[in-house]
A = this chain, B = another copy of it.
Amino acid sequence: MTAETQLSPTPRSTVIRGKKRAVQDRQVLYDILDAGLVCHLAVEVDGAPFLIPTAYGRDGNRIFLHGSTGSRSIRSMVEGKQVCVAVTLVDGVVYSRSVFHHSMNYRSAIIHGTATIAEDPEHALRTIVEHVTPGSWDYARSPSKKELAQTVALEIDLTEASVKVRDGGPGEEPSDLEANLVWAGHMPLVQTWGTPVPHETDKAIPPHVSARGR
């Protein structure tokens, strides 16, 4: 792991709580972002924190978000402001011999940055659509000028980020492990794609959709 691929150790992106779960490899950050579908974006609005759950897409060391250009839009709330973005994947729950050491297995990415208007909005939208529904950008009707004008795309740099990962079974107090009075272990939580549900169409399910669940 070189300095370039390491995550940045600024004070707020340094993991304090649960330090042993901290991961320094930038590739793990990318893998988590690529595996998630929704992020949570936090921004201050009228002096209080405000959360927006939203789709995103990653391109290199940045992510794109999008929203409409309407009132109380993501643009008016977020542009130029400091934001925090989280993508959290829950992989399971952990049953310990003690209540205290019950836990969850997860992959967590937290990004600190500033949201700016994406220089190339069409590229940003393509990145988001291809992240959420791979293959759809070239398959479905392209956005019209009017549709593009209704959409704003934002970008956030991934330089300042922290990553935590927990997997496997419980940590235990040595005395609980020795006494071994109860069952302990972990239970995976698995996400799978269900069967596609057609919408008023007699067309065959295209490969970019049918191949997804396999």
Interface membership of A2, Cβ < 8 A: no
CA distance A75 to B195 in the complex (A): 44
List B contacts of A108 (CB < 8 A).
Answer: 53
User: How many copies of the polypeptide does the oligomer hold?
Assistant: 2
List B contacts of A158 (CB < 8 A).
Answer: none
Q: Could you name 20 residue pairs across A and B whose Cβ atoms are closer than 8 Å? A: A17-B70, A37-B93, A42-B42, A44-B48, A49-B84, A53-B110, A95-B209, A102-B133, A102-B136, A104-B132, A177-B200, A180-B201, A187-B196, A187-B209, A188-B195, A188-B197, A189-B191, A190-B191, A190-B193, A190-B194
Taking the closest CB of chain B, its distance from the CB of A87, in whole angstroms, is 9
CA distance A209 to B57 in the complex (A): 36
Q: Interface majority SS on A: helix, strand, loop or mixed? A: mixed
Interface membership of A3, Cβ < 8 A: no
Residues of A in contact (CB 8 Å), total 94
List B contacts of A192 (CB < 8 A).
Answer: 189-190, 192
User: What 0/1 readout, one digit per residue, does chain A (104-115) give for beta carbons within 8 Å of chain B?
Assistant: 101010101000
List B contacts of A193 (CB < 8 A).
Answer: 187-190
